[in-house]
Amino acid sequence: MAVPTFVDRVSLHVSAGRGGNGVASVHREKFKPLGGPDGGNGGPGGSIILRVDPDITTLIDYHHSPKRTAEAGGHGAGAHRNGGHGSDLVLPVPDGTVVTDAAGEVLADLTGPGTELVIAQGGRGGLGNAALASSKRKAPGFALLGEPGDELEIRLELKIVADIGLVGFPSAGKSSLIASISRARPKIADYPFTTLVPNLGVVTAGETTFTVADVPGLIEGASEGRGLGHDFLRHIERCAALVHVVDTATMEPGRNPADDLAVMENELARYGGLEDRPRLVALNKVDVPDGRDLSDIVIEDLRAHGLRVFPVSAASGEGMRELTFAMAEIVRAARAEREVAEAQRIVLRPPSADNSDSFTVTETPDGWRVQGTKPERWVRQTDFSNDEAVGFLADRLNRLGVETKLLRMGAEEGDIVIIGHVDNSVVFDFKPGIDAGAENLARRGEDERFEEKRPAHGRRRAIQEAMPERGETETRADVARRLDKPEKFGPKSYTIGSRDDPDWSESDPDA
């Protein structure tokens, strides 16, 4: 089996690096056992970037290894050490690579050397407890987790970018022509469909240098899939001009230059979108005496139809100078027209960098579903084995207005609340206004050892905070008893909707 050397369509799975976790650590020194939180932040994960590289002409590398992963960020460490950045992974792609998502939606059309697309953004690093500390929360006993990087399935499809595209019947001499005017060395043979993949050649005529694409031969009915079909015509979609290569020496019955040309034009019209491209006609193989005769017969007629026609021989080189200078002229005209639109270096980013406060709540048979950039991100950052971290999440969600919105929509205590998309979500019990029992005694993030003495108003405040909404029956004494015996209130569960605590806002990375 032949090993392919040219691949123009691939599926690729890209996973950007995970962000490193923040760390919860307390500074320790002789005679100063509690020197304050000093846990560093996790580093961001590496992103995956597609970059147009003029030296790459095929997507074959991605055909061989269709999964690419960028480096994760380093975890934070004690003594305020932050984790390192994960390195970005740059994937070189040929000029003219069209990027689509799994659903076929075009994400970007990468043309021009250096053009970049950040296709998968690395995950954010989690904050360490040093960064989460505030004047009120002197020693947070938790840190945030790093977030996973973007992970997605994409398709890459190459549409070669060349100045000139050669079209013609199989064996008309397209590959011979490109070999005669450039350094390209495609396979040449006297059987049809010798060329199975496009070849690119670089041609210099006078001051102008341009690229020429030799694509597989077309036959009548290509639009219905005959021969190699239309598949390769997309490689000339981006060409500024087309050159018809016509065989003047063919012995095939029913073929002659004028009819061949008409058949090609018909197939191009069926493919569509190429009507506006200027065309030249190369009557090839005039080194063959019959070819020369036929060329002489048809040339005036074709010119009378307004076509620019060049009798040439790829074998002897005759007529190549005139043909390449005519090509250069069209290329220059096309470039002059395009000049203004020429992009320098575009960096495209997917919309995942969204940082909006908006979120939605929908009632579903499974429970209340909360979706939004921030709530979902915050859930990913939460270490659910750490109560303080869970409480911090509850505070953030509450401050965003998630609890209020749930209440307004009719959510009741004990309802199921799901945060995130269907395939990636976390389930909570809804407990509006009141936190999981024990956390009301010592407020989250406070370490009593830091306080001189807990003043009486601290307890009053705790009771005040735990009081039910107006209209409910629990009295102040009930609340006080409840606070003293938290275990009566059942096993701890993750709750959302704890009372708003403005103290966190100082240290909230998203506030």
Residue nearest to ligand GTP according to CB distances in the complex = 217
For the bound state, the minimum distance from the C-beta of residue 509 to ligand GTP, rounded and expressed in Å, comes to 60
Min dist CB 371 to ligand GTP, Å, is: 54
As to burial, measured by CB atoms within 10 angstroms (0-12 exposed, 13-18 middle, 19+ buried), residue 271 is middle
310 is in an annotated binding site: no
Place of tokens 């003293």: 484
One-letter amino acid identity for 79?
A
**Residue 82 or residue 195: which is nearer to Mg ion going by CB?**
195
Characterize 367-389 residue by residue with b for buried, 16 or more Cβ atoms within 10 angstroms of its Cβ, and e for exposed. Answer: bbbbbbbbbbbbbbbbbeebbbb
Distances (CA, A) of 419 to 47, 126, 359, 430: 26, 19, 10, 12
CA distances (Å), origin 255, targets 219, 302, 312, 399: 12, 16, 18, 78
Q: CB 193 → ligand GTP: shortest distance, Å?
A: 5
Please name every residue paired with 211 in a beta bridge, in sequence order, or none if there are none.
202
Q: Residue 309's beta-bridge partner residues?
A: 281
Q: Which helix (H) or strand (E) holds 304?
A: helix 289-304
User: Does the annotation list 173 as a binding residue?
Assistant: yes
193 is in an annotated binding site: yes
| Residues found near ligand GTP in the complex (CB under 6 A) | 168, 170-176, 188-190, 192-195, 216-217, 284-285, 287-288, 313-315
CB of 85 to Mg ion, least distance (A): 48
Min CB(287)–ligand GTP separation in Å: 5
> Angle at Cα 221 formed by Cα 216 and Cα 222, nearest 5°?
30
Q: Which residues bind Mg ion (CB under 5 A)?
A: 175, 194-195
Which does residue 287 bind out of ligand GTP, Mg ion, none, counting CB within 5 to 8 angstroms by kind?
A: ligand GTP
Structural tokens at position 211: 């690229």
Residue 143 labeled ligand binder: no
- DSSP symbols for 146-174: PPPPPEEEEEEEE----SEEEE-STTSSH
Nearer to Mg ion by C-beta: 121 or 176?
176
Number of C-beta neighbours around residue 493 at 10 A: 11
What would the two tokens of residue 14 be? 């890209």
Shortest separation between residue 315's beta carbon and ligand GTP, angstroms = 3
Which residues belong to the annotated binding site for Mg(2+)? 175, 195
Which residues belong to the annotated binding site for GTP? 168-175, 193-197, 214-217, 284-287, 313-315
